[in-house]
Structure 1
Amino acid sequence: MPIQYFTGLSAFTELPNHLQKMVAKIEDRAGLGIEVERSSNRTMACEFRKGKAVIRVPAAGPLRKASVFHELLHLKRHFVDGVPKLVYCDDDHEFEDENDARTPEQFQCLDNQIEHLFIVPTELTRYRKERSYWEERMDKSLDLMRAPCDVLLAWEFIHRVLNGGTLSDKVQALVEPLSV
């Protein structure tokens, strides 16, 4: 199957000018085209590394401008701003069990959580209505959090990005047993 590029999507021409310019800037600085993959998920995502950038878009429905902006901010921080990506890179390590084997995935998750501390404020500056999306997403994720690192990053996100709000008490109740 041939590679499809983000600029080749019919929906690309319907995006606002600032997003089209952002794509051009990222592709120019990265020296590559941003590939696109269709996904059965309703949400967008991106994946990138040296020499490759991919945005996953829903197979059906229109592209949400705020979601496009969000994924482009991830790519911009890496390819334009030069922010390194946190990755697990011990090739000689043999994983002892299933939990240990999740280490690379956990590094990827940690990197994404840290990135959101920088990306989401920029997203909310341009797309203020997305605040409710992030509040709902954080509310759901708080119910699943058990790792102290995840709880502390959620506390930081809720207080620094969402300015506390309705989730302040909920995340504080998760932080208090950690004795930090």
Structure 2
Amino acid sequence: MKKSSKKLDKIGQLGPFFELDKRRQKAVILLFEDELTDEEIAKNVQRRRSTLDNWKNDDKFKAAQEQYKKLVVKKDFESKALRELVNLLNAKSEMVRLQTAITILKMSGMMSDNSTPELDKAKVRKANAEADIARWRADELTGKNKSDDSTVLVDDIGDVEDE
């Protein structure tokens, strides 16, 4: 096993990779490293080649392979990629700087994939307006809006029939 593989075994994470027994975990690691044939991997984990083939077709084993790949990539490249993004915040191109800022915000969870600053502001305005309307309706039902002047809420977006 490579150095990075040994460190990942010790992190105590949850998920499909860590739910596998040690032989299957080792098979996942060896498959990821892509240095041995399937025959050699099977021998290395003391199983037949047909057993390894069965494992490779198992959904949990496939999920474990995906999780392991993400863990290795995250451990080995995430900080380097983030440093590069931070450097790109100073790029000459305004578009590169904008895309970089958006990527960093998405990575931090502060912005979703289908989000833009304008869309986020519009969503906040809509949520505030809906909250105001709901508060007004609740006050109307409880009688808190009683006064000589009455405000009528009109829905002018509804269906309009021809007269």
Q: TM-score range by the shorter chain?
A: under 0.3
- Which one has a larger percent strand, Structure 1 or Structure 2? 1
- Which one has a larger percent helix, Structure 1 or Structure 2? 2
TM-score by length of 1: 0.24
Higher relative contact order (CA 8 A, sep 6+): 2
TM-score by length of 2: 0.26
